[in-house]
Amino acid sequence: MANIMTLRGAVLSKYKTIGEFSEAIGWKRNKSSRILNGIQTPSADEIEEITKCLGINTAEDFMQLFLHR
């Protein structure tokens, strides 16, 4: 399960708004908002898309965002 506050912080540190992130990743804003607010759990494919969009390249960074509680 994603650490929502860390994931949200990572997204908003790279993109100024959820809308900007949504445009970059190719999702509707509603979907991005649900994931970043912890309402919807991202699928494995969605996690892969998020990591690519955020430029996450290391296992440590991935674990901090998606496996740390």
Do 2 and 66 contact (CB within 8 A), yes or no? Answer: yes
pLDDT digits (tens, 9 = 90+) for 4-53: 678 899 999 999 999 999 999 999 999 999 999 999 999 999 999 999 99
Q: What is the pTM of this model?
A: 0.84
Structural domains of the chain in order of their starting residue, each with its CATH number: 4-66 (1.10.260)
Task: Tell me the C-alpha distance between 62 and 68, whole Å.
Answer: 9
